[in-house]
Chain A
Amino acid sequence: MLLSSIRALESRFEEIFCLTGLSVMATCIFAQVVLRVFFESAFHGAEEIAVYGMVTAIYLGCSLAIRERAHIRITFLVEKLPHKGQVFCIVLADLLWMAFILLLLKESITWIQLLVQFDYISPALGINQKFPQSIVPLALCLMIGRMAQVYYRWLVRDHAEGLPL
């Protein structure tokens, strides 16, 4: 029971956050319109919350796209190579991609450490930016995990047949 719940959570983890982020974004902005047009009132901080929702959707959506192998690549030239060459190119591309994510992770952790030391408060809602901005390193960790998962499945389940795409 517990195991199946964890599996269900693992298979829908990004979706939960992306869907929540997008829904919050749309609802906050629409609520702002409704309050202004019909009640001559304002939704203080709606734009800030909407941006938090969007950033969550983008970063978790990026991880979701890794899981689903939905990132857009130009494979037109790679496809002209023999199979071994194709595998070499795609694995090299993914290694470079991972190196970039690891570099970004290292730098973003340093950045968050700075935000922890020096408070940076948002003007509208007064939220300390170390909290919302932590989504970047957290999502990058998730992306690394998803990439490892894709390769584990390709190597173990598919016995390295086809391409890790």
Chain B
Amino acid sequence: MNGPMWMATVFLLTIVIGVPIPFAAGIATVVGLYIADIPLALLAQSAYNAFEPFPLTTIPLFVLAGQLMEKGGMSEKLIQIAQRMIGAYKGGIGLVTVVACMFFSALSGSGPATTAAIGSITIPTMLKEKYRPRFAGAVAAAAGAMGSMIPPSNLLIIYGLVTDESIPRLFLAGIVPGLFLGFLLCVVTYGIAKKNDYGGTGERFTLVPLLWALWEGKWAIGAPVFILGGIYAGFFTPSEAAAAAVFYGLFVGLFIYRGLTWRGVYESLRFTAILAGSILFILGSTKAFGQLVTIFDIPDMVGAAFSGIIDYPWLVMLLIGVVYIFVGMWLESIPQIIIFTAVMLPIATQIGVDPIVFGVFTVMTCEVGFLTPPIGVNLFVASKLTKTSVEDISVGVVPLLIPYLFIIVLLAFWGDWVTWLPDLVMGPSLE
């Protein structure tokens, strides 16, 4: 066996017996360093240096901002707005869940957090309206996964840091696929609700209650305008926007909506710390992994495996998508992006795929990972909220995976629709 094979074997074996993923990746890196005869001092050096890039602060800050906004009462306001927009249609509260998740995705960078924020309110209502629990949980899980696509997105930030691509450009690239995905999820939700006769009061849409709800929720709906508008107007860098979002969430939660208590602030900080410690820690244990990828020529080895089909870029992308979805079923998204982007991006650029498109493609496949057992985090969250089994939600979520898979296939064939908006706002990217 060669170095990469040893690394992969050790990584898999340690994960299978229950070593937490950041440490399993660290152990595999140690094996790689040993085989390549590189001093282990590199490991110690990168244990600190990996965290020195300032843009990395964006991730814990957006997690914290999302927590504060959720606990501060913003999710209720967003649901009220969505309710006034589409709540009266067939499958109304299911559609409200999707639309409210789209709104909340623009505040939070995390899929599971979006599922929890919106699902905790809409799932009990769906159950009260006699929706089948597996469907109620599946809608919240599937719509919550949009949190990782609609900016701000923690996964796009990690991808930007790993590849040195512009984070504002990646955020802009996530908007159109995110909105399109939301629309497709609404279509599927409506179709299932109509078939099963779920909800729907049949009331006609009227503008005044919507305008009133928009006015009531202006601080919640204003948050994405403030965050993203600030970035693109040149007021903030993404890290600064995240810090501003934290204070915005704190101010609105404490003084405007008054849903936030000091206990809630403490819990939000504690949640963020545990998330940073259990997930971001992987950067410290695997920074040397990136160097090993180059030393062992892993992209060339993987590229050789694709050499027979290199003339068919769409086929290469589809195969990468299959690999990503399979890996995403087992691995957390951040480790997945860190480990696999270093290997797969050179192949994608070789076949002419724009790195920005590849970033959106990568995150879209990770979102499927959120929704597939055994490690579908959104499924776990939705299962807790509906008090039904993960297996049951996994069955319910299958039709809602269709929009995700459709967009992945679309991206494999045609990526220009993703770069259209960033090119329009920021100008074409330099080759």
Q: Which of B88-96, B141-149, B266-274 contacts A (4 or more CB under 8 A)?
A: B266-274
Asked if B23 is at the interface (CB within 8 A of a chain A CB), the reply is: yes
A50 touches B21 (CB 8 A): no
Whether A108 contacts B44 in the complex (CB less than 8 A), given A19-B273, A57-B277, comes out as: yes
B243 touches A76 (CB 8 A): no
Whether A100 contacts B30 in the complex (CB less than 8 A), given A30-B246, A47-B54, A74-B375, comes out as: yes
Which of A18, A33, A77 touches B270 (beta carbons < 8 Å)?
A18
A65 to B43, CA, bound (A): 22
B276 touches A74 (CB 8 A): no
24 contacts between A and B (CB under 8 A): A18-B269, A18-B270, A25-B243, A29-B239, A29-B242, A37-B235, A51-B51, A54-B276, A58-B60, A58-B277, A58-B280, A59-B277, A61-B277, A64-B273, A65-B277, A70-B274, A71-B22, A78-B18, A93-B18, A96-B23, A97-B23, A104-B26, A104-B43, A108-B44
Which of A55, A76, A99 touches B374 (beta carbons < 8 Å)?
A76
- Residues of chain A within 8 A of B43, CB atoms compared: 103-104, 107
A17: shortest Cβ distance to chain B, in Å? 9
B18 touches A61 (CB 8 A): no
A136 touches B277 (CB 8 A): no
A100 touches B27 (CB 8 A): yes
B204: shortest Cβ distance to chain A, in Å? 45
- Residues of chain B within 8 A of A50, CB atoms compared: 54, 57, 239
A40: shortest Cβ distance to chain B, in Å? 13
- Residues of chain A within 8 A of B278, CB atoms compared: 61-62, 65, 70-72
Number of chain A residues close to chain B: CB under 8 A: 58
A33 to B236, CA, bound (A): 7
A101 to B43, CA, bound (A): 11
- Residues of chain A within 8 A of B273, CB atoms compared: 14-15, 18-19, 21-22, 57, 60-61, 64
- Residues of chain B within 8 A of A135, CB atoms compared: 48
A29 touches B61 (CB 8 A): yes
B272 touches A55 (CB 8 A): no
A75 to B16, CA, bound (A): 7
Asked if B244 is at the interface (CB within 8 A of a chain A CB), the reply is: yes
Which of A74, A100, A110, A136 touches B16 (beta carbons < 8 Å)?
A74
